[in-house]
Amino acid sequence: MAVQINPSILSADFARLAEEADAVTGADWLHVDVMDNHFVPNLTLGVPIVESLAKATDTPLDCHLMIEDPDRWAPQYIEAGASSVTFHVEAAAAPVRLAREIRAKGGRASMALKPATPIEPYEDLLPELDMLLIMTVEPGFGGQAFLDIMLPKIRRTRQLIDKHGLQMWLQVDGGVSASTIERCAEAGADVFVAGSAVYGASDPAAAVRALRAQAEAVCDHRATGR
């Protein structure tokens, strides 16, 4: 599986988003955290900013909606220019219908789980998704410490994906850094959201390359068994 590094603009300078997008040359996606101060206790940005950012960068946008009523709002982010939209299963009224609507509009459909939400009840939904996001911190704020207790959940999720022979991506978000990315990769993740580990570095593009190299080494080892 191909490793992907998605810098989170939650850790970027919001007054210079276009420049900050250019600063992470080599990133696979830009991860855009959308928060509504209801589903999570923080407020960030919405559809108009995503629309502007999509026009300002060639890097595809991966929008993570930490909002209430994603059934109503998620399709609008595809229309605004996002290539992938993640909704939280805890907030979605009809996750299968929503995933199908996102796909019908040409986007990749992704579902996120908070740390306390188990993956097993949603096994039958997996074929409807292009990506699954396991939160490795409580959603709402950047810069939190990685929760090691999520590693078994990442591993179980990878086993379910493999069990069904699915080509879906497994993303982790929260506290991903040089000291945690290898553990996530070993557990089965292949898409890594990194905020402060990238935008807090003196050279964000170099930080992306370094994180990718770390994850690829582990994934290659896991694939070959050597």
Of 28, 33, 36, 190, the catalytic one is 33
pLDDT at position 225, please? 65
173 is catalytic: yes
Nearest to 129 by CA among 100, 104, 155, 106: 100
Alpha-carbon span 35 to 138, nearest angstrom: 13
pTM score, whole prediction: 0.95
Of 62, 130, 173, 190, the catalytic one is 173
> By mean pLDDT, which of 34-38, 96-100, 163-167, 192-196 is the weakest?
34-38
Residue 220 has pLDDT above 90, yes or no: no
